[in-house]
Structures are given as structure tokens and as C-alpha cells.
Amino acid sequence: MSARRRQDRRVEKKLKARRPFFPPSISNRTPPPTPGGCYAKCIGLKSAQEPEIWKAIRFGAVLENVVFDENSRCVDFDSNAVTENTRASYPIEHIDNARIPCVGPHPRNLVLLCCDAFGVLPPVR
């Protein structure tokens, strides 16, 4: 191996040692990439089916693409007049049994599911 190639490999190793695989804000005991909050789809949301999300949508939550009555300010979660992609974003403190601070170890395994052109997911073992 040439001296130039050895030098390039040493520089590459130093850069890899400084540059983590995940974004820099993630370490062994730091908050998740979406710090301090949750993001939930809320089309057809019912209090009986998703009580934690239902209770979390209160003052401080942000609703996207929802229909509501302007007089009563009640949200119609069943309406898809704008889009079916209705979302709610709320602070983690709105969840009763949330673990605060939201830290934990890195996962040992990560599975990325991608469909093929026909919408078929590959099998995962």
C-alpha cells in the first residue's frame, strides 16, 4: 500500500471516529430526535379507542388539516374534507404515563420497511 493511501486511510478513520452514524444530537442518554413531543394521526380519533391521544389534545397541542366548528371550537375528527392526513402534535407532558426525561439506550436492531413498486413489503425474520 502506498504512503498516500495509508495517509488517506488514517484521515478517514479519524473522521469516522468523530462523526457518529446517527445525528449528532443522539447519544447513549439524550432525548429522541423529536424532543419533547409526539405526532399522531387523528382522522377518526375516538376517546374510547385512543384515550391517551384524546386526552393529550388540549391547550398546547397543534392540530393540522382538521375541520372544526368556529362557534363551539369543537374538532370533527371524522371529517376528511381537507385531507385524511390530519395530525396532532403535542408535548410529551400531555401523556399521563410518559417517562420524563425521554431517554434510553440505543436499540440493538433497526428494521427499515420499504415497499417495492407493487406495494409489497419484504418478509422480516
* Phi and psi at residue 58, to the nearest 5°: -150, -165
Q: Is the peptide bond before 51 cis (omega within 30 degrees of 0)?
A: no
**Burial of 53: CB neighbours in 10 Å, binned 0-12, 13-18, 19+:** buried
Q: Domain range spanning residue 33?
A: 28-94
> Does the pTM of the predicted model rise above 0.95?
no
Domain-located, residue 71: yes
Q: What CATH number does residue 68 fall under?
A: 2.170.8.10
Mean pLDDT for the chain overall: 77
The confidence score (pLDDT) of residue 49 equals 92
**Cβ neighbours around 90 below 10 Å, total:** 22
In whole angstroms, what is the distance from residue 49 CA to residue 43 CA?
Answer: 12
Domain-located, residue 33: yes
Domain-located, residue 48: yes
Domain-located, residue 54: yes
Domain-located, residue 87: yes
In whole angstroms, what is the distance from residue 21 CA to residue 16 CA?
Answer: 9
The confidence score (pLDDT) of residue 17 equals 53
In whole angstroms, what is the distance from residue 102 CA to residue 26 CA?
Answer: 12
Number of domains in the chain: 1
Among 18-27, 33-42, 52-61, the range scoring the smallest mean pLDDT is 18-27
Q: What is the pLDDT of residues 47-105, one digit of tens each?
A: 999 999 999 998 888 888 899 998 998 999 999 998 888 999 888 888 888 877 777 78
Domain-located, residue 75: yes
Domain-located, residue 90: yes
- Residues with Cβ within 8 Å of residue 60, at least 6 apart in sequence: 90, 91, 94
Domain-located, residue 89: yes
